[in-house]
Amino acid sequence: MPDETRLDEQQKIIDDRQDNIKKLKNRRNIRTVLNILLTVVFIIICTFSIYRRYDEARIFDKPVGTDDNQQKINDNDMQKDDNQQKNDDSITTDNGDQQTPADSTDKTKSDSKAGDGHFTIYSVGDVYTAENGSGKLHCDVRNVEDSTHDIVMSLYISEDELKAHGLSTNGVEDGKWLIAQSGLFEPGYKIGEVQLNALPDGSYLPAGSYSLTMNERYYHHETGVLASYEANIPVTLEVAN
């Protein structure tokens, strides 16, 4: 009997050790799987960050539909106005390296390309007008017919500009406020008016002259790919009443 008891105890010890070994292996397997998953996630995040950092073409949700106010450019519009300026956009060299102009607010003439396409945008003058702060801003921004990209135009007023006019800056984020934005307008079309937005406190721009930044984003007309370059151009808004 004593021998049988000892054998049972030894067998129990062996069984316990085997169970512990199995549990240890299971824990190691779980840790290995978790490490692999974390590594995959890390690689995906790094790849996406590098992809965005070096300005490769990015797919964003292209706005649905076109701006109701877009107008077809006619032959008379194609006659250049003395004040007409051609935006200086990004240039893609033959080997695919993208170059950005030293001054993104420059409005001198330049051929512009974006990946497998190009875009040419004219702004007739850089002074826009509005009858009142709650009305429509009047402009003349043209997307020429041979462009391969649709455009969304956004107009921002800076926090400093609001302060300079004694206006509230509560609710302003990133130092600027979106004061107007167009919908998409396609190659061969122009935008002549855009609805002005309310200020952060719900009021509207009073009469006066304001310095704005016109931001232009370019979506490939066929694929919807957003060009890595976007223009930021200083303009003036004059509100009459």
Supply the pTM of this predicted model.
0.61
Instruction: Single out the residue of 167, 175, 173 nearest to residue 207, CA to CA.
Output: 167
Say what the alpha-carbon torsion angle 42, 44, 49, 54 is, to the nearest 10 degrees: 130
3-state secondary structure of 25: helix
36-84 pLDDT, tens digit each: 988 888 888 766 655 444 444 444 456 656 776 677 777 555 444 444 4
5-18 pLDDT, tens digit each: 777 777 777 777 77
Q: Which two tokens stand for residue 78?
A: 């194609």
For the chain, the farthest-separated pair of C-alpha atoms sits apart, in whole angstroms, at 115
What secondary structure does DSSP assign to 206-225, as a single string? -SEEEEEEEEEEEEETTT-E
Cα(70)–Cα(190) distance, rounded to whole angstroms? Answer: 6
